[in-house]
Structure 1
Amino acid sequence: MRRDLTETTAPFPAPQSDCGRPRTNVKDHALDRAAHAMVAATTSGLSPASICLAWLDWALHLAVSPGKCMDLARDATRNRPPGPVVPTDDPRFSASAWQRWPFSAYRDAFLQVQQWWQDATTGVLGVDRHHEQVVSFLARQMLDAFAPSNFALTNPVVLEAAIRSDGANFTAGARHWIEDLEDYSTRSRGEHIRRSPYVPGRNVAITPGKVVWRNSLCELLQYSPSTAQVAREPLLIVPSWIMKYYVLDLQPHNSLIRYLVGEGYTVFTISWRNPGAEARDVGLNDYLSHGLLAAFDEVRARCSGEAVHAVGYCLGGTLLAIAAATLARDGRAGELRTVTLLAAQTDFTDPGELGLFIDASALAALDSLMWEQGFLDGAQMAAAFQLLNARDLIWSRVMSEYLLGRRSKPSDLMAWNADTTRMPYRMHSEYLTQLFLHNDLAEGRYCVGGRPVALSDIAQPMFVVGTERDHVSPWRSVYKLHLLTHNLLTFVLTAGGHNAGIVSEPGHPGRHYRRATRGQGAPYRSRQAFFDEAAVVEGSWWLCWSRWLREQSSGVVDARMVADGLGEAPGAYVLEP
């Protein structure tokens, strides 16, 4: 079906009001906002009050736990036998050089202290669980900063490299440090330099297609078919707005979008605009109505009104779940054929380490910081994720690039990860408050158009993917969708992390997955039972998903060609700094 090309260049949509929620009159508290923003900027968005409350809770309860204190004192003075205290699978100490004295003594002493602090910060009677997690996390972060692997004189691998290279590793490391400092300074000033060898439209995001629709919030891309026939129902991908969509369209060999096109699907994807301060009042439901649902309607109009296979990744999956519940509530369920959620949470009661700093005090600090700027900057968000996984993302890099003088070999996934995005003030504030803090979606309080939506109304078959080492959307949290729906639901747990587990193309070494399907109305099976009982399948979950999509489709039609467009893929928004 031929559609007229649509482009709306109007400003960002006017914010909506939902369920009569009162908006805070920030003008009455401008001075407070400014003061909170100043503190938040100094602490990188963390709340000193929240951290102090957690520490006081732990310290006061520990002080009135003499038995616990006696155990800790005994452990601190006990003469431990020689050898490692914990299994030596810690990658920081995996080199054989750590087996030699005195480096083995440095390692063992550090591991003993690490274990002691783990015991000290957990299992204290009366401490709030959230506070216990915060204190334990902060203690681990401080200890990781002082690991012997981080210092040249206590790291045998670094010393051996210095001897072999006559100190050239330190010269190279200093050069890397200066380059990174300059790059950070450039980005902090809002200037964008694309130094990566991977550039969208050049060697990543090169699946042939066109921009067929655009408004002030997003672009809609349609990809050119590579098969003579395609599944009757088109497929719409909804990426997260905290990432650029081309994580799903990297190089040809690991592009999920190219794979789906080759499997015989008419593929569309949303490419979100990278907003600035002008979008500060754009809310979460604006992303729903003017973004996802507007693009959804355009896809159906371009495909003769067929129902849609909808796919959401990360926060895009959360938004898709809201959209599916909204369509069901409004009598439009037939427009949606299936729902696929990739590493997407819908219940936020167990969000993993990301939830350590999601409480009222922490959100007040972050909210003030965003109010001052009008958005949350990508560099600020990246710093938060680095903190959550500092051992791998910070200290391992310090050792490799600055002490050993080795530059990490650039990869398409690393380049995409560095291509950060921003988030409007209101949208991110609503997301953190309504979903993370209050869990409104899972508990039936989230409203669209002034009325609540319920995930239990979703009747379409669902395919839900979690990843084993996900720091952003822990799979045990993703699995909770089983408690909120009653439909046919296939759950897949795949190897890898939040990104690498999804970008898991056929032929990728070391990949495996578990799969189980819950029948409509079937009783609940616990997360541990799923993990223990589901068979491990070697290979990529993409193959399993493609078969599932084919089973849920109603036949094939002639391939839908993309005759013209507003521009070639990957479009204009993905290139915005």
Structure 2
Amino acid sequence: MTTKETAPDQNLDLLNANLAKVEELSRRLVDVMGHHKPLRTELNAPETGMFVNAAAAYWQAMTDNPGKVMESQMELWSKSVKHYVEAQHMLMQGKFAAPQDDTPSDRRFSHPMWQTNPYFNFIKQQYMLNKEAVEGAVSDLEGLSVKERQRVEYFSQQILDMMAPTNFLGTNPEALEKAIETDGQSLVDGLENLIADLEDNNGELLVKLADENAFEIGRNIATAPGKVVFRNRMYELLQFTPTTETVHEIPLLIFPPWINKYYILDLKEQNSMIRWLTDQGYTVFVVSWINPDQSYADVGMSDYIEDGFLSAIAETKEITGQKQVNAVGYCIAGTTLHLTLALMKLRGDKSVKSATFFTTLTDFNDQGEFTPFLQNDFIDGIDREIDEAGILRSFIMQRTFSFLRSNDLVYTPAIKSYMMGEAPPAFDLLYWNGDGSGLPGKMAHEYLRNLCQGNQFVNDGIELCGERLHISDVDVPICSVTCETDHIARWKDCYVGFQMTKSRSKTFIVSQSGHIAGIVNPPSKKKYGHYVNKDLTGTAEEFMEGATFQEGSWWPRWDTWLSSKSGKQVSARQPGDSTHNALEDAPGSYVQARATI
């Protein structure tokens, strides 16, 4: 008997052996899920009232205009039957080919078999027909408030995305093809990936987006040389080693968001904003926030302002011997920098010479894509979670952000990992994205209730630190950098709040790309351009209509703006001073702490 004759039997044996492994792994899966404590139901789905209102609106439409509703139904039925007949006709002609396919392009269906194989093409086309019908029905609903409509649209889209045939093994040709090619090994690897993710997260399903073994903080990311020169219960203050003989007199102090880690600004040498700023001759300080545990439950926004922002400003001034600093706030830290500047104005404190804001919201009147999650049912659930855990756990926020881009950040990675058995990529940005921090309970409650829901900072003012703070209190020179496709802090919403300050010197920049890539955009890449307009009196639409597009990164433009507010050149400063001995090398200890599930 030849080798070729025995090969099929060997392949079958291998396939059966892999399927036996699948059974064994399935028992592990059952075990880990048996110990899983489910997340409270309020954080998994909207209150039933939303679906009741949507159903009521649908039935009201059917009562008021039954012809229109029936017309929509008949259109779906007609297209479905026609689609079925066309597929049957091709088969009856003896052609193993798909019928004509006029459905819109969708990268989920990029594998050739979705177009060429009649079985998979039939499933794909029917899914697209159903999707079109559901979206049309939701679009035609009347009698809903703006927020109710946004929520119905969002959650109906989530259901449609979840039910895509690509998400199921039996209807995913690429996954089936690989299972056959690997004699089932891809299924074994995929199930191992699934169980590993569940075990790492106490039964919560968080798809691992990056290979965590490929990165080590301080070794191949967050490597800009510097020292920890101050530490308190809220943050470590990092001062980075100069790379020029002279530096600007006024130091630069950066406040990153405390939802994630500071090293988004220091991933690799090639895209490190911190390294680039030191190369431009700035004395760079960066705040590295604590990753809070339950003992921080009573820490609020006032604590972040007093023991975080004001403390770091004071320490930076003392170390450099300067009366002022230039400050930067990114995302939520930008919002809080605004609050701090308002407080400093009321106290007569002129320690900040200028302020730059990266992707920063101050006006939350339009909640954008977060509208589904910023209503009382979800926030009530978060409040109960906080009461129990003391913090808003990182994975809850990570899951929320991921489902705003579910196909890119949930389903596609899940397919590759769990159905295809692929290891996650060694991607520094995705590694950082998964290295989040929890939020202290009181701070999360105040931010969500008073800023996101109540919009107090731009309405009647928000009570913090014994004062009533308002956006109009901010009057230092400001520069706001926003991102064109940012879905977290939409540039148009950032622009509205930006206009409400009383600053006489204002610069507004719209970078191409999104919340991270639009900011971490070094000049060397020559990738994303930016828009500028000196006229800041009109609407956001008018700003963009009159804007000039500039090729390349916005960093050099900001450098020109910042250097004009940074004083004369002085001898380069080494980290620390006589009263601030280096506590340890950068990146420090706080950044190393991982969030708990």
Q: TM-score range by the shorter chain?
A: 0.7 to 0.9
Amino acid at match of 1:56: V
Amino acid at match of 2:61: S
Alignment of 1:298-377 (within 5 A): 298-332=315-349, 334-377=350-393
Listed one character per residue, the Cα deviations across residues 220-262 of structure 1 (whole Å, up to 9, x for unaligned) are 1111111111112111101111111111111211111111111
Structure 2 SS opposite 1:227: coil
> Which segments of 5 or more consecutive residues in structure 2 lack a partner in the other structure?
1-36, 84-98, 206-210
| 1:530 alignment counterpart | 543
Listed one character per residue, the Cα deviations across residues 167-217 of structure 1 (whole Å, up to 9, x for unaligned) are 3332322232232222223899xxxxx953322222211111111111111
Structure 2 SS opposite 1:290: helix
| 1:292 alignment counterpart | 309
8 Å CA contact 1:158, 1:404 repeated in 2:
yes
Structure 2 SS opposite 1:126: coil
| 2:15 alignment counterpart | none
Equivalent residue in structure 1 for 2:40, among 39, 42, 45: 42
Listed one character per residue, the Cα deviations across residues 366-395 of structure 1 (whole Å, up to 9, x for unaligned) are 101111111111122212222222211111
| Structure 2 Cα separation of the partners of residues 177 and 544 of structure 1 | 46
Structure 1 SS opposite 2:415: helix
**Residue 551, structure 1, aligned to residue 577, structure 2:** no
Identity of aligned residues (%): 33
| 2:3 alignment counterpart | none
| 2:53 alignment counterpart | 57
Cα 1:568/1:114, change in 2 over 3 Å:
same
Alignment of 1:139-288 (within 5 A): 139-185=156-202, 195-288=212-305
| Structure 2 Cα separation of the partners of residues 344 and 116 of structure 1 | 37
Listed one character per residue, the Cα deviations across residues 338-380 of structure 1 (whole Å, up to 9, x for unaligned) are 1111112111122322221212232111101111111111122
**Residue 110, structure 1, aligned to residue 127, structure 2:** yes
**Residue 388, structure 1, aligned to residue 399, structure 2:** no
Alignment of 1:489-508 (within 5 A): 489-508=506-525
- TM-aligned CA deviation for residue 432 of structure 1: 0.4
8 Å CA contact 1:85, 1:112 repeated in 2:
no
Amino acid at match of 1:351: Q
8 Å CA contact 2:150, 2:371 repeated in 1:
no
- TM-aligned CA deviation for residue 502 of structure 1: 1.8
8 Å CA contact 1:45, 1:369 repeated in 2:
no
| Structure 1 Cα separation of the partners of residues 348 and 502 of structure 2 | 18
| Structure 1 Cα separation of the partners of residues 51 and 438 of structure 2 | 32
- TM-aligned CA deviation for residue 285 of structure 1: 0.9
Structure 2 SS opposite 1:553: coil
**Residue 92, structure 1, aligned to residue 105, structure 2:** no
| 1:14 alignment counterpart | none
8 Å CA contact 1:85, 1:111 repeated in 2:
no
Cα 1:405/1:531, change in 2 over 3 Å:
farther
8 Å CA contact 2:475, 2:502 repeated in 1:
yes
8 Å CA contact 1:196, 1:415 repeated in 2:
no
Amino acid at match of 1:246: Y
Listed one character per residue, the Cα deviations across residues 370-423 of structure 1 (whole Å, up to 9, x for unaligned) are 111111111222122222222111110122122222223122212222222111
Structure 1 SS opposite 2:509: strand
Cα 1:263/1:326, change in 2 over 3 Å:
same
| Structure 1 Cα separation of the partners of residues 410 and 212 of structure 2 | 20
- Give the alignment's TM-score, normalised by structure 2: 0.83
Structure label with greater radius of gyration: 2
Give the count of matched residue pairs.
Answer: 527
- TM-aligned CA deviation for residue 511 of structure 1: 1.9
Amino acid at match of 2:40: T
| Structure 1 Cα separation of the partners of residues 553 and 234 of structure 2 | 33
Structure 1 SS opposite 2:43: coil
Structure 2 SS opposite 1:420: coil
Amino acid at match of 1:240: P
- TM-aligned CA deviation for residue 64 of structure 1: 1.5
| 1:6 alignment counterpart | none
Cα 1:433/1:459, change in 2 over 3 Å:
same
Cα 1:530/1:160, change in 2 over 3 Å:
farther
| 1:77 alignment counterpart | 77
8 Å CA contact 2:301, 2:464 repeated in 1:
no
Equivalent residue in structure 2 for 1:475, among 485, 488, 491: 491
> Which segments of 5 or more consecutive residues in structure 1 lack a partner in the other structure?
1-38, 189-193
Listed one character per residue, the Cα deviations across residues 451-472 of structure 1 (whole Å, up to 9, x for unaligned) are 2122223222222122233232
Cα 1:199/1:121, change in 2 over 3 Å:
same
RMSD: 2.4
| 2:533 alignment counterpart | 516
| Structure 2 Cα separation of the partners of residues 288 and 150 of structure 1 | 45
Runs of 4+ in structure 1 displaced over 6 angstroms?
A: none
Structure 2 SS opposite 1:65: helix
Moved more, 284-293 or 494-503: 494-503
8 Å CA contact 1:234, 1:306 repeated in 2:
no
Structure 2 SS opposite 1:507: helix
| Structure 2 Cα separation of the partners of residues 243 and 514 of structure 1 | 27
- TM-aligned CA deviation for residue 84 of structure 1: 5.3
